[in-house]
């Protein structure tokens, strides 16, 4: 929201530079539920209040997840090429389902995720994190978003879902385009093509992975439903987890008091991640609710039936943390933030996500002592999304370190002569695309 502008504009770079300022202004003007522009010409609402988010997420009689209720979309007011459609257009998956259908789909998702071996996945995550740091630690500089935060969860997801190298690479490229709300139609079509290929392969060669468990689940998901859920789950899993790592590292590198707490051991990394989930969560306005009838607002206004209502977890958490400042400072491990949602749709993978983020941040801090920002904090840029909060880059520098793993898969494999073939020379920088190339060999 710019000065004088009557609504929040969470898609704008100015918003992401200082969201708190915007939240304060619109809250003062409207109260806990404020009008928002989600992109030029796309109207919605943003809930900024902790208790209201909880109440509305639980009130499934008044608020639906079904995006086909979106009144402006029904009236043909949303252009077909609107960037937000990638995230908002109805899909037949658990996130957009209500009632009995939600229960059926949710059971399949939670059972399939529940089959993940957490000890094995934790060990694998740690190994990938070490390997990634090995890829850049001798260089004394890195972009922690592109070379680390976005690669770590993706690699873990690929393993959990049984994706192969090519599918993983194509999937993440399309996913990033979708989260940026850019060319979402093409990105969505590419996602579906990739996942169809994975399903066809898993039908022939079942494995110990989430894809196979979804295909075999007694809820009897069709191939189309499995496809929809893979697109949802891998997307829902990758992006926010990557952004949590990025947001946590940014806070550590820019807030010296927070950093001291961690480095001195007074706060462990798990608690630090919870603190970031309170203060700077990866999802700031997603998913979207639709009132099934007009709802009266505390300021006397009306939330019209079929309006898209974004769940403003970041604003709600921060207001609640501010109201309980003393308690929060002394008890950062408090997990009562809303960053994983609340009610029947609450994120079914909170432990997995926090494990990946904690492992990722802990590994960086241990492996890169003295790590610091390589650009002034004010120059960091955020991706322009009304739904999520994610840095475009996080350039850091540090004293060059020696790699620790004797066997780094992408450097030792004869199948990858093009990557890191320089013998004793400094290792090649590994970017997302390079890293994906070694996934299959690493299994």
Question: Which residues bind to ligand HEM, rule: CB under 6 A?
Answer: 57, 94-95, 106, 109, 113, 232-233, 236-237, 240-241, 244, 281-283, 287, 339-343, 345-349, 352-353
CB neighbours of residue 346 within 10 Å: 12
Q: How far is the CB of 70 from ligand HEM (least distance, A)?
A: 16
Pick the closer one to ligand HEM by CB: 184 or 339.
339
* C-alpha span between 32 and 399 (Å, rounded): 47
Pick the closer one to ligand HEM by CB: 1 or 46.
46
Q: How far is the CB of 345 from ligand HEM (least distance, A)?
A: 3
Under 8 Å CB-to-CB from 308, ≥6 apart: which residues?
38, 43, 44, 45, 67, 70, 72, 88, 288, 289, 290
395: β partners: 143
Pick the closer one to ligand HEM by CB: 26 or 236.
236
Q: How far is the CB of 157 from ligand HEM (least distance, A)?
A: 6
Q: How far is the CB of 421 from ligand HEM (least distance, A)?
A: 34
Q: How far is the CB of 116 from ligand HEM (least distance, A)?
A: 8
Pick the closer one to ligand HEM by CB: 22 or 352.
352
* C-alpha span between 67 and 44 (Å, rounded): 13
Residue position matching structure tokens 């995550």: 125
Q: What angle do CA 202, 204, 210 make, to 5 degrees?
A: 20
Pick the closer one to ligand HEM by CB: 68 or 346.
346
Half-sphere exposure of 18 (CA within 13 A, CB side): 8
The 3-class SS string of 221-289 reads CCHHHHHHHHHHHHHHHHHHHHHHHHHHHHHHHHCHHHHHHHHCCCCCHHHHHHHHHHHCCCECCCCEE
- Counted residue by residue, the chain has a size of 443
Pick the closer one to ligand HEM by CB: 19 or 427.
19
5 backbone dihedrals φ, ψ, rounded to 5°: -80, 130
DSSP 29-72: HH-SEEEEEEETTEEEEEE--HHHHHHHHH-TTTEE--GGG-HH
Give the nearest residue (CB) to ligand HEM.
Answer: 341
45: β partners: 35, 309
Pick the closer one to ligand HEM by CB: 284 or 374.
284
Pick the closer one to ligand HEM by CB: 213 or 411.
213
Q: How far is the CB of 271 from ligand HEM (least distance, A)?
A: 15
Pick the closer one to ligand HEM by CB: 109 or 310.
109
Q: How far is the CB of 234 from ligand HEM (least distance, A)?
A: 7
Under 8 Å CB-to-CB from 402, ≥6 apart: which residues?
137, 138
Q: How far is the CB of 12 from ligand HEM (least distance, A)?
A: 22
Q: How far is the CB of 428 from ligand HEM (least distance, A)?
A: 29
């Amino acid at each position: 929201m710019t000065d004088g502008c009557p609504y929040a504009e969470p898609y704008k770079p100015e918003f992401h530079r200082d969201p708190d300022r915007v939240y304060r202004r619109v809250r003062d003007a409207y109260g806990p539920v404020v009008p928002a522009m989600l992109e030029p010409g796309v109207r919605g609402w943003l809930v900024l209040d902790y208790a209201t988010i909880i109440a509305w997420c639980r009130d499934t009689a008044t608020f639906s997840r079904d995006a086909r209720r979106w009144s402006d979309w029904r009236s043909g007011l949303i252009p077909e090429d609107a960037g937000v459609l990638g995230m908002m257009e109805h899909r037949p998956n658990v996130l957009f389902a209500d009632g009995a259908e939600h229960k059926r789909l949710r059971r399949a998702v939670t059972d399939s995720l529940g089959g993940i071996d957490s000890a094995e996945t934790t060990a694998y995550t740690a190994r990938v994190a070490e390997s990634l740091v090995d890829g850049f630690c001798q260089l004394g500089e890195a972009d922690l978003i592109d070379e680390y935060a976005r690669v770590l969860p993706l690699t873990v997801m690929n393993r959990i879902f049984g994706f192969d190298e090519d599918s993983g690479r194509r999937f993440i490229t399309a996913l990033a385009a979708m989260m940026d709300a850019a060319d979402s139609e093409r990105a969505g079509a590419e996602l579906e093509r990739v996942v169809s290929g994975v399903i066809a392969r898993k039908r022939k060669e079942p494995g110990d992975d989430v894809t196979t468990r979804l295909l075999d689940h007694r809820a009897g998901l069709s191939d189309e439903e499995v496809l929809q859920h893979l697109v949802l789950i891998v997307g829902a899993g990758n992006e926010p987890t990557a952004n949590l790592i990025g947001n946590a590292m940014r806070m550590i590198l820019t807030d010296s008091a927070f950093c001291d707490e961690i480095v001195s051991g007074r706060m462990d990394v798990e608690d630090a991640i919870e603190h970031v989930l309170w203060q700077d969560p990866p999802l700031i306005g997603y998913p979207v609710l639709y009132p099934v009838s007009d709802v009266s607002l505390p300021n006397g206004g009306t939330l019209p039936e079929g309006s898209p209502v974004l769940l403003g977890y970041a604003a709600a958490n921060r207001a609640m943390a501010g109201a309980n400042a003393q308690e929060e400072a002394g008890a950062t491990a408090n997990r009562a933030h809303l960053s994983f949602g609340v009610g029947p749709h609450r994120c079914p993978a909170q432990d997995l996500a926090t494990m990946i983020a904690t492992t990722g941040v802990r590994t960086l801090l241990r492996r890169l002592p003295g790590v610091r920002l390589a650009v002034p904090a004010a120059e960091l840029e955020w991706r322009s999304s009304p739904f999520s909060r994610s840095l475009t880059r996080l350039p850091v520098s540090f004293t060059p370190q020696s790699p620790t793993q004797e066997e780094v898969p992408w450097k030792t494999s004869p199948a990858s002569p093009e990557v890191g073939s320089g013998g004793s020379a400094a290792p090649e920088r590994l970017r997302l695309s390079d890293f994906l190339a070694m996934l299959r060999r690493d299994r």
